[in-house]
Amino acid sequence: MSKPKLFEPLRVGNVKLDNRIVIAPMCQYSCDNDGRANDWHAIHLGHLALSGAGLLTIEATAVLPEGRITWGDLGLWDDATETALRDVLQRVRAWSDMPIAIQLAHAGRKASCETPWAGGHQLAPDDAHGWQTVSASALPHYPKENAPTALDAAGMQKIRDAFAEAAKRSARLGIDAVQIHAAHGYLLHQFLSPLSNKRDDEYGGSLENRMRFPLEVFDAVRAAFPSDRTVTVRVSGTDWMDGGWDVEQTIAFAKALEARGCDAIHVSSGGVAAEQRLHPVPGYQVPLARAVKQAVSMPVVAVGLITEPEHAEAIVANGDADVVAIARGILYDPRWPWHAAAKLGATVRPPKQYLRSEPRQDRGIFPHGPFNPAAHWRNDAG
């Protein structure tokens, strides 16, 4: 029986993935208004690093305090946030050799929010946990929200420099790959979409102009991150709105990124327009990934309600994408790759401490090596 395509290795830049399953970045909103990683992040990342996936991506990590979605977001903008994340990563890496990426982000006009479990609403600039937001144009995401400040040249330079500085900090932390967040209606997507970008300077209007700032940020990160390490970008393939960002523009952006040395592109969708007409069903974003894959040579990642192993295998085997990203599904089932291996007839490497957990009906998904079950029972007697 041939090995499932989902469990074939893949090289993305210089990062070698043991399989085509990656853990997408998922915000935890669990810092204490200081952007510093803490024990929650050690628990969260630690157990996902034992999942058997090919790559773990740290959640959207703000490059500036005002770039956070909520006051509880993770950050990487100063020595204190770098030290806190280093402490967490040291604990995770002590028990897992899974490659680790980080998503660097700025929320733009969708920043300054309350945590989701406290309502998720935007906080006013004078709130104790709020601040003034910025964007491509002075247009709020929701009509009743505080309008962002349209970025001027100095503000854009500050953000470019912050992305580059966060990339340097990521390199010092030994992170294997950086993903730039240009999706889900956050700042770089706000520049890309004609729905949120109404500028009349060289950063607005035409597609070339709207891509200019995101490409400048990519160039800054690529120059700051070691040349032998991987840089990728996450995009929204469509705004799900007439007159908005669409897959044809996404393809043009992907080609421009690839020409600049981008190693992979992760295709999601939506987020920039509160009125988006979105009908999520399993695999609803896969056609966007397929369209991009047909236009570029770099690896393409598909994501979005991909919950069944057979579906993930079909996406990769059919050539719709090179990699499948699992998000909410792996929060619900942190051993999703193990269960996928069992269903598809593949193998995964568990921690040696968990070797004896392999169910009898799934014998063969763990390469046992020298593990001796009889010795376990003898030593664990009583």
Distance of alpha carbon 66 from alpha carbon 293, whole angstroms: 34
Question: Interior CA angle at 144 toward 141 and 146, to 5°?
Answer: 70
Using the 8-state DSSP alphabet, how is residue 208 labeled? H
Rounded to whole angstroms, the Cα distance separating 303 from 265 reads 11
108: helix, strand or coil? helix
CA distance 28 to 76: 15
Is residue 277 within 8 A of residue 299, CB to CB? The reply is: no
| Residue in 186, 203, 284, 332 annotated catalytic | 186
User: Alpha-carbon distance 239 to 371, whole Å?
Assistant: 51
In the numeric block, which tokens belong to residue 117? Answer: 């479990």
Residues 6+ apart with CB under 8 A from 100: 45, 49, 55, 56, 57, 58, 89, 92, 93, 175, 176, 177
What is the chain's Cα-based Rg?
21
Closest CA to 24 of 359, 330, 343, 366: 330
304, 273 contact by CB (below 8 A): no
Catalytic annotation present for 186: yes
The alpha carbon of 274 is separated from its chain's Cα centroid by a whole number of angstroms, namely 21
Contact in structure between 181 and 188 (CB atoms under 8 Å): yes
For residue 136, give Cα distances in angstroms to 159, 185, 197.
Answer: 12, 11, 5
Q: Compute the distance between CA of residue 360 and CA of residue 135 in angstroms, rounded to an integer.
A: 55
Supply the residues annotated as catalytic.
186
